[in-house]
Amino acid sequence: MRPARIFATATPFACALTADIFTKIWANNALLQGRSVPFIPSFLQLSLTRNTGIAFGIGQGHAVVTTAIGCTIFLAILAWIIWRERGAQKLSGLELSGAGFILGGALGNIFDRVCHGEVTDFLEFVFVSFPVFNVADVMIDVGAGLVIISSFMIPACRKVEPHSAGNS
């Protein structure tokens, strides 16, 4: 994998992980559990909570299982990147960046689970009933969105190696 391609994944990975860790540190020091603070009126508020489950609170109270699931997903995405990059149809730049955001967000939540046994959540929509979430969750969604958008684009920037005449 060329340095520019590594950079396309490593940069969003590092940004997502760093933003997640620092915002969780901030939330734990600046917010009080059980008290909401308006952030964007009628849209988003800050509400410190702790979550031992995964998406939408699934698996509450099963920290070992949810940590194992998170690690498995992280490793599966890493394997997908390696498999695609070693093959003839390389990942697009958008897919590489998307994967970086997903991996950074996933590792941020894994880090929380391993170090604290739970994940710190603090972002809460005001206008709709939706689980409280964190920056890692946002980064995972952004990354997934980039990968999905990339799937609708013409793969002009992907290298496809032609089949040789002798190998059918």
Q: Which residues contact 56 (CB under 8 A, 6 or more apart)?
A: 131
Look-up: residue for tokens 């800050």? 46
| Catalytic annotation present for 137 | yes
| Cross-strand partners of 43 | none
| Catalytic annotation present for 121 | yes
Closest CA to 101 of 21, 14, 29, 159: 14
Helices (H), the chain: 3-30, 63-86, 93-116, 135-151
Annotated catalytic residue within 20, 112, 121, 141: 121
| 103, amino acid identity | L
3-state class (DSSP) for residue 39: strand
State how far the Cα of 9 lies from the Cα of 121, in Å rounded to an integer: 25
Catalytic sites, residue numbers: 121, 137
